[in-house]
């Protein structure tokens, strides 16, 4: 046996289990919270009715970020995730976990939001009232705010999101591949 083989075999130790269940509940909760994603952007593709007979509307997200693994590990981890966030029901696919304190609800097209809000005085979308950060596509946001009547429509957003903290314009830049140059 060469010295390098002996050294490598001595440096390998069996994986030790972490006795997570023996830690105080407060420490376990902090660990679960550290596994949660933050500062994500949820792009709303459309607002549609849940079904023809319902007044409830749902968001259809374009490329929703994956839900945190903590929702599927155990009851304790799921509880921690649901204390910091909630599940948006969607028109297709599974519900989407949203963390209000850090995540942003993004509308690329301000027209879609404005038109949906003009159809009724209040749109019922479960969870919408918990949104704290809202973003709009830059060009549409500026274009429609130039028309003063849209400022009134913009104010109506606060009826749906009463605790809104930030409203930002976002300019997405998509880079294209320069293959073959």
Residue pLDDT, tens place only, 3-40: 555 555 566 777 777 788 899 999 999 999 999 999 99
pTM of the model: 0.76
- Whose structure tokens read 């038109």? 115
Distance from C-alpha of 107 to C-alpha of 169, rounded to nearest angstrom: 9
Please give the share of the chain, as a percent, with pLDDT higher than 70: 72
Instruction: Inform me whether the pLDDT recorded for 86 exceeds 60.
Output: yes
Q: Give the 3-state DSSP-derived string for the chain, with helices as H, strands as E and coil as C.
A: CCHHHHHHHHHCCCCCCCCHHHCCHHHHHHHHHHCCCCCCEEEEEEEEECCCCCCEEEEEEECCCCCCHHHHCCHHHHHHHHHHCEEECECCCCCEEECCCCCEEEECCHHHHHHHHHCCCCCECCCHHHCCEEEEEHHHHHHHHCCHHHHHHHHHHHHHCCCCCEEEEECCCCCCCCCCC
């Amino acid at each position: 046996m060469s010295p390098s083989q002996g050294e490598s075999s001595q440096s390998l130790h069996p994986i030790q289990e972490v006795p997570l269940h023996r830690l105080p509940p407060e420490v376990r909760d902090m660990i679960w919270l550290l596994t949660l994603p933050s500062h994500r952007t949820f792009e709303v593709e459309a607002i549609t009715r849940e079904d023809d007979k319902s007044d409830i509307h749902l968001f259809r997200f374009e490329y929703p970020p994956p839900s945190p693994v903590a929702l599927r590990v155990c009851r304790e981890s799921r509880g921690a995730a649901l204390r910091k966030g909630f599940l948006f029901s969607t028109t297709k696919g599974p519900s989407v976990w949203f963390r209000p304190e850090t995540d942003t609800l993004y509308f690329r097209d301000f027209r879609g939001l404005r038109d949906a809000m003009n159809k009724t005085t209040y749109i019922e979308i479960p969870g919408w009232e918990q949104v704290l950060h809202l973003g709009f596509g830059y060009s549409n946001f500026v274009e429609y705010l130039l028309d003063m009547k849209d400022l009134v429509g913009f104010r109506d957003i606060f009826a749906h999101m009463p605790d809104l903290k930030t409203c930002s314009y976002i300019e997405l830049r998509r880079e294209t591949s320069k293959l073959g140059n």
